[in-house]
Structure 1
Amino acid sequence: MHPLAAQIDLVIVTPNHGLGLWMLGAFVLTFLGTRLVTRLIRSGRGPFRDVEVGGTHLHHQVYGILGMLVAGAVEFAYRPGSPGVQLLAVLFGFGAALTLDEFALWLHLEDVYWAQEGRKSVDAVFLAVGVGLLLVAGFNPFAGSGSTGADHAAFAVVLLVNLLLAVGTILKGKTALGVIGLLVPLVALVGVLRLAKPSSPWARWRYRPDSRKAERARQRYPADRRTRMDAFKDLIGGTPGR
């Protein structure tokens, strides 16, 4: 085997979990700190205020995007050793947290940070943390994929089926389960088999408004439905405004 190919296989099978831990730690701490600061600004307490440049509100995702760009560019251009690579992992985690904390603003192209639509930002952060924990724990869907043509073909089929299940779960409005299903085989099958949320693309496409499934979906997921997870999100991210 060519030495370069051997090195590539090594990177795929044994990722650097230590750097992942640095990145995940920076991500979590930055997100918690950001939510604390934004909640203080919202309540008018503390020394923090919104930043404006020329009368334009500067969202913190701008700093996050710049942080990720710098971390990526320096890593690709210079490939620093320790401790530089750990600092870049921290910078990337910092930038990713600031950026995902305003994920809802990407989708709606308006400031919905404290609106109900802004809860998508908290969902995105929770999903990122979940994926990060799986990666830091050493989960690797590419390990043991085999070396023969038949093994690769079978592995490709399994990945394709798992991807379709994950996409179907996300289309049914179960984003968290779908993203986890991308990494853990067959987990998304649970979401595919269950009833879709009434506001999901699947329900709009597949459930007629007067059908039995549409009525069951509305009863199962009413607009004012509150779960323990919703209360936990309020605790971490703040209660959305009406």
Structure 2
Amino acid sequence: MGHWWQRNILEPGKLPLLLALTAFVLTFLVTRVITRLIRAGKGPFGNVRAGGLHIHHVVPGVVLTVVGGFGAVASDRHGVAGAGSAVLFGMGAGLVLDEFALILHLDDVYWSEEGRKSVEAVVLTAALVGLLLAGFAPFGVNDLSQQELQSRGTVAASIAGNFLLSLIALSKGKARTAVFGVIVPLVALVGAVRLARPGSPWARRFYVHRPRTRARATLRAYHHDRRWAGPRRALQDLIGGKPDPRPVRLPDGRG
């Protein structure tokens, strides 16, 4: 374990990335726990206000991200300052992406249906950073044996193949499959070979003169969304909290 840690984390300089990812995930989880307690009216926490203005936690998140980012650029990644900057950057990124939907919509949609985009952004970001961390490419590792070079070359080729399949899945309108397919080869393969979603670049390019294929793709997308919408919403509710119900609009516009 110690040899693996030295060769694959410390020597390539991946410790700051590991610290940033850990701080990112923990900050998001802690923030969600606190906001859910505030929402339920429990615990000693409350919204931060200044002169009647609600200060969203994206504000300190931006400050931490800027400080941590510039600190990382100015410091040695192998030193204490680099590690500290990585932690600050991860904390800031966690706070910022926790309110990604607010930035996207320029509105306080934290507990609305649109607020689910924040959870999706955090999960996808953590997956991508985890991929960078888990990649055993030999960059930064010195004195590799021939067996290590061959092994790492095989892994690099495999990752490149998965990435190509993920690009195909992305062109078929399957963003989540594309992201997780980079990590899990089978997911990338399934996303690449199955029918594209209607309206995707792949469907617009290859299904134009194939009405039966378009119909099959539309029907498959409908059944897929109907089958997985419930479990996906349940997982998002578990991670980020259940959104507030949409207000009922009366026919005359009241409500």
The TM-score with structure 2 as length reference comes to: 0.68
Task: Tell me which amino acid in the other structure corresponds to 2:217.
Answer: K
1:97 maps to 94
1:170 maps to 170
Task: State the alpha-carbon separation in 2 of the partners of residues 170 and 92 from structure 1.
Answer: 29
Task: State the alpha-carbon separation in 1 of the partners of residues 33 and 105 from structure 2.
Answer: 23
2:222 maps to 218
1:39 maps to 36
- How far has the Cα of 1:41 moved from its partner? 1.2
1:151 maps to none
1:87 maps to 84
SS at match of 1:226: helix
SS at match of 1:39: helix
1:150 maps to none
Q: 1:47 to 1:196 in 2, by over 3 A?
A: farther
1:194 maps to 194
2:102–2:109 CA contact under 8 A, matched in 1: yes
What value does the CA root-mean-square deviation take over the aligned residues?
Answer: 3.7
- How far has the Cα of 1:75 moved from its partner? 2.3
- Tell me whether 1:241 sits opposite 2:238 in the alignment: no
2:71–2:81 CA contact under 8 A, matched in 1: no
- Structure 1 stretches of 5 or more lacking a match? 1-13, 144-154
1:37–1:48 CA contact under 8 A, matched in 2: yes
1:17–1:138 CA contact under 8 A, matched in 2: no
1:20 maps to 17
- Tell me whether 1:132 sits opposite 2:129 in the alignment: yes
2:101–2:118 CA contact under 8 A, matched in 1: yes
Task: State the alpha-carbon separation in 1 of the partners of residues 172 and 117 from structure 2.
Answer: 16
- How far has the Cα of 1:232 moved from its partner? 2.9
Task: State the alpha-carbon separation in 1 of the partners of residues 228 and 188 from structure 2.
Answer: 26
Q: 1:166 to 1:44 in 2, by over 3 A?
A: same
2:67 maps to 70
- How far has the Cα of 1:108 moved from its partner? 2.1
**Percent identity of equivalent pairs:** 48
1:52 maps to 49
Which range is displaced more, 16-25 or 29-38? 16-25
1:40-84 deviation per Cα after TM superposition (whole angstroms, max 9, x unaligned) = 111121222222334332221221121111112122234375322
Task: State the alpha-carbon separation in 2 of the partners of residues 232 and 124 from structure 1.
Answer: 14
The equivalent position to 1:29 in structure 2, one of 22, 26, 31, is: 26
Larger Rg: 2
Task: State the alpha-carbon separation in 1 of the partners of residues 90 and 235 from structure 2.
Answer: 23
SS at match of 1:239: coil
1:108 maps to 105
Q: 1:112 to 1:231 in 2, by over 3 A?
A: same
2:252 maps to none
Q: 1:132 to 1:163 in 2, by over 3 A?
A: closer
- How far has the Cα of 1:96 moved from its partner? 1.0
Which range is displaced more, 217-226 or 86-95? 217-226
Q: 1:133 to 1:201 in 2, by over 3 A?
A: same
- How far has the Cα of 1:205 moved from its partner? 5.2
1:75-109 deviation per Cα after TM superposition (whole angstroms, max 9, x unaligned) = 22343753221111111110111111112223222
- How far has the Cα of 1:135 moved from its partner? 2.5
Task: State the alpha-carbon separation in 1 of the partners of residues 138 and 172 from structure 2.
Answer: 24
Q: Which runs of 4+ in 1 moved over 4 A?
A: 161-165, 181-187, 200-210
